Amino acid sequence: MNKRVTGSLSEYLLPTALCIGLALALSATSWLHRLETITLDNLTQLRARFQEPTDPRLIVVGIDDDSIRRFGRWPWDRTVHGQFMYSVSFGKPSVVAWDILFVDPSPDGKTDVSLQAGAETLNGRVVFGAYSTDDDPEQPPVIPKSNQPLVSIEGDASRIPTSPFALRPVPLLQEVGLTAFCNAPPGPDGVRRHVPLLQRIGDQVFPSLSLQTLMQHANIPPEKVRIVLGDAIYLDGESFRRRIPIDEGGHYFVNYRFGNKRANDIGFAALTIPYTEHYLLETPRPELPSVENKILLVGQFSTALSDNGLTPFGSETPLVLVHANIIDNVLREDFARRGPWWPVLLGVLVLGSVGLVFFPKRALFHQALFALGVPAVYLGLASVLWIRWSLWMPLLWPVLGFGGLQLFMIVRQLVREQRAKMHIKGMFGTYLSPELVNRMIESGESPQLGGHEEIITAFFSDVQAFSTFSEVLPPDRLVELMNEYLTICTDIVHEEGGTLDKYVGDAVVAIFGAPLPLPDHALRACIASQRIQLKLAELREKWARDGIWPKVVYEMQTRIGINSGPAIVGNMGSRTRFNYTMMGDNVNLGARMESGAKTWGVYSMCTEATREACERAGGDRLVFRPLGRIIVKGRSSAVPIFEILGLKENVTEKTRECLRLFEQGLARHYARDWEGALAFFTQSRELEPNQPGVTPGVLGNPSLAYIEIIGRYQVAPPPANWEGEYVMSVK
């Protein structure tokens, strides 16, 4: 396996596989599953705040605090329940289901007769609750008519919740109604999420209260109910067809939509009394609640009673609402579903890999935004899917896996960036400006080491007649002077984005355009040269005012040479000692500009390549003067050269007139009109900004240089093939 493949595995695939794999492994743990269900419960509570009312075909009749206040202390005399059924029978409900157990006979037996009589008025449209038990209740024989088992079962029925015995309603009630099981046992975490719709007693399987209620509502007999364990319960009535999803044990995943009173709920007394008054006492009640063809589910609502338990809505939820939610789910066909895990896994893998590939090259802010934004979007989407469409997508392990991967990526990037910062600062901090070092760090790109070609501008400066300074100044004063001078040079170079290459005694060598590219490197170098000349003029005035320096100090002049073009830059030297520097023909030419400036009596000189690069980058900030074409040592072809007269705002009209006269003299010079050229150079000489004996330290200027050259040509003209070039005799 080659290094590239190995690198990709360790860089991208291995971290992704480890983080996502660990998250998947954690998803199988009980504690993460518990956190997952708690998160789901919170979403369930959230959607209940703006939940639609229950299906209008369902009315939950609650034995609430108001009912207890009206009918007395619980448990009530069974005549109250009988009266309820007798009264509401006039409203013709489709079924009345009791989430209340009437398993023990009344003490006198008479109230059971009253309860039976009330149930008879419903003509069999009543379902009484039963309860499975492992203890023999020693009840009278069961009446088969009211306890009809389900017979069409596909799958392993042994997985259905099983008990040997059952607490059933008293026989009088079994004669007039159906029996169904109210069992809603809590899950491992104590919350009722998966409720059995089937109950096995011995070898027979019976429906739960909610299932039997739906069967009665749809007039579907037990033999018409088909059960496929691990799939669904199929109700196939004439006008009511439903597929109710169940697991292998017949449990139904309750899609809790409400956990408190909704618009279709009513108190036991609030329903019983109006119907009694209207139909039995013949007191008209025009706003009588309609119960026609509706399911009436009766259960305890008061928190003072015992039939409360833990649901996603809290520990004191009336358990009748568990059955109410199931019935409402089936009526609406609003079933909770688990979303497939593999698209989520694929999405996490893809997005995680994308983040590893693309974001290490981005700013840390963008990485953090990606790391937080993707989980936030996913959680928002998963929440909407559950709240709106009851689709339960895995919540925690995708976020943990993706978040862990992003955390790994960010930490790794931070470590790399810190190492890169230390590496770059250690390598370049001594010869780059702090701003440029910061730009290198922010760019995230390590400088190429070992030498590579870049288009740069080479910058050379040297103090005129420096040996004189060494002669007249003691070493400590010379060091003090040079430190002050070199500081201003270096600071300006750095401020303009240049890179300090080296100091050679009083000379400063700098690179513009490396190690980080600068599109306007030539312009920056030329501006730096003029800023140095201006600052040196200020220093000369300061040194003169100090009164402690010899005259040579406050007449100090520095010559600067500049050239632009391709060059080799990088760390060069031995394996144990190297320097970030530049080399190549264009670098040598830049050095010739500095040394050749003396011949022309100028202090800032550059090549045509530099001037043209300045103009492309906005060089109108500078004023250039053409000095001619020279052939430097080591080259056979002529190079056009220019003096940098200064920043545009500092060049006077007098100097501009000098420039116009000088250019006319230069044109006559190229035409071999020595007399005409001499006339123009004589005029421009008087306007030169640098005048020997006037400007401190100045020994000549371009006009004087050409007057001397023309004098020699008048005596010994150049050859016939001469094209105006001047051969430099010094390096």
pLDDT at 9: 45
For residues 523 and 585, membership in a common domain is answered with: yes
Q: What percent of the chain stands above pLDDT 90?
A: 50
Name which residue leads in pLDDT, 207 or 697: 207
Residue entry with tokens 């689709």: 391
- Quick check: is 359 in a domain? yes
Cα separation, 183 vs 178, whole angstroms? 16
Query: In the chain, how many H helices and how many E strands?
Result: 22, 29
The pLDDT of 524-535, averaged and rounded, is: 95
pLDDT at 211: 96
CATH code of the domain containing 504: 3.30.70.1230
For 554-599, what is each residue's pLDDT tens digit? 889 999 999 999 999 987 776 666 678 899 999 999 999 998 898 8
- Quick check: is 42 in a domain? no
DSSP letters of 166-208?
EE---HHHHTTSEEEE------TTS---EEESEEEETTEEEEB
Instruction: Identify the band that residue 356 occupies on the pLDDT scale cut at 50, 70 and 90.
Output: low
Amino acid identity for residue 7 in this structure: G
Cα separation, 312 vs 293, whole angstroms? 30
The pLDDT of 643-658, averaged and rounded, is: 94
pLDDT at 7: 45
- Quick check: is 427 in a domain? no
For residues 150 and 244, membership in a common domain is answered with: yes
For residues 262 and 364, membership in a common domain is answered with: no
pLDDT at 8: 47
pLDDT of residue 539 exceeding 80, the answer is: yes
pLDDT of residue 323 exceeding 90, the answer is: yes
Residues whose CB falls within 8 Å of the CB of residue 321, separated by 6 or more in sequence, listed in order: 60, 258, 259, 260, 299, 311
The model scores a pTM over 0.75: no
The pLDDT of 317-324, averaged and rounded, is: 91
Where a domain ends, among 387, 422, 457?
A: 422
pLDDT of residue 654 exceeding 90, the answer is: yes
DSSP letters of 535-574?
HHHHHHHHHHHH--S-TTGGG--EEEEEEEEEEEEEEEE-
pLDDT of residue 4 exceeding 80, the answer is: no
Q: Give the side-chain half-sphere CA count within 13 A for 557.
A: 19
Both structure tokens of 219: 């007039």
Name which residue leads in pLDDT, 444 or 715: 715
For 75-133, what is each residue's pLDDT tens digit? 899 999 999 999 999 999 999 999 999 988 887 777 889 999 999 999 989 999 999 88
pLDDT at 575: 62
The pLDDT of 605-622, averaged and rounded, is: 90
DSSP code, position 277: I
For 181-233, what is each residue's pLDDT tens digit? 999 999 888 899 899 999 999 889 999 999 999 999 999 999 999 999 999 99
Boundaries of domain holding 233: 54-335
**Which run of H or E residues covers position 442?**
helix 434-443
For residues 219 and 358, membership in a common domain is answered with: no
Residue 345 Cα distances to 17, 138, 538, angstroms: 11, 55, 70
Cα separation, 633 vs 650, whole angstroms? 34
For 232-272, what is each residue's pLDDT tens digit? 999 998 889 999 999 999 999 999 888 765 657 899 999 99
- Total count of domains within the chain: 4
Amino acid identity for residue 580 in this structure: Y
458 contacts 521 by C-beta, under 8 angstroms = no
302 contacts 64 by C-beta, under 8 angstroms = yes
Where a domain ends, among 634, 650, 666?
A: 650
- Per the DSSP assignment, residues forming a β-bridge with 129 are 101, 180
pLDDT at 306: 74
The pLDDT of 43-52, averaged and rounded, is: 79
Amino acid identity for residue 20 in this structure: I
- Quick check: is 347 in a domain? yes
Residue 181, φ and ψ in degrees, nearest 5 = -95, 130
> What distance lies between CA 364 and its chain's CA centroid?
10
Cα separation, 658 vs 685, whole angstroms? 8
For residues 10 and 25, membership in a common domain is answered with: yes
Instruction: Count Cβ atoms within 10 A of the Cβ of residue 478 and give its class: 0-12 exposed, 13-18 middle, 19 or more buried.
Output: middle
Q: What percent of the chain stands above pLDDT 70?
A: 85
pLDDT of residue 616 exceeding 80, the answer is: yes
For residues 417 and 452, membership in a common domain is answered with: no
For residues 300 and 416, membership in a common domain is answered with: no
Name which residue leads in pLDDT, 394 or 638: 638
Quote helix, strand, coil % in the chain, to nearest 5.
Answer: 45, 20, 30
- Quick check: is 245 in a domain? yes
The pLDDT of 609-631, averaged and rounded, is: 90
- Quick check: is 429 in a domain? no
**Which run of H or E residues covers position 68?**
helix 65-71
For residues 293 and 168, membership in a common domain is answered with: yes
Instruction: Identify the band that residue 454 occupies on the pLDDT scale cut at 50, 70 and 90.
Output: very high
456 contacts 513 by C-beta, under 8 angstroms = yes
- Quick check: is 46 in a domain? no
The pLDDT of 405-433, averaged and rounded, is: 64
**Which run of H or E residues covers position 60?**
strand 58-63
For residues 236 and 170, membership in a common domain is answered with: yes
Both structure tokens of 547: 């009164």
- Per the DSSP assignment, residues forming a β-bridge with 727 are 631
pLDDT of residue 622 exceeding 80, the answer is: yes
For residues 643 and 657, membership in a common domain is answered with: no
pLDDT at 644: 95
pLDDT at 421: 67
For residues 680 and 702, membership in a common domain is answered with: yes
Cα separation, 211 vs 205, whole angstroms? 12
The pLDDT of 158-163, averaged and rounded, is: 92
Helix/strand/coil (H/E/C) assignment for every residue in 278-327: HHHCCCCCCCCCCCCCCEEEEEECCCCCCCEEEECCEEEEECHHHHHHHH
Amino acid identity for residue 432 in this structure: L
Where a domain ends, among 402, 422, 442?
A: 422
Both structure tokens of 593: 């500009």
For 20-40, what is each residue's pLDDT tens digit? 667 666 666 777 678 778 888
pLDDT at 159: 93
pLDDT at 359: 65
For residues 127 and 246, membership in a common domain is answered with: yes
Residue 366 Cα distances to 363, 394, 602, angstroms: 5, 26, 51
Instruction: Identify the band that residue 283 occupies on the pLDDT scale cut at 50, 70 and 90.
Output: confident
For 413-422, what is each residue's pLDDT tens digit? 677 667 766 6
Instruction: Identify the band that residue 399 occupies on the pLDDT scale cut at 50, 70 and 90.
Output: confident
- Quick check: is 502 in a domain? yes
pLDDT of residue 429 exceeding 60, the answer is: no
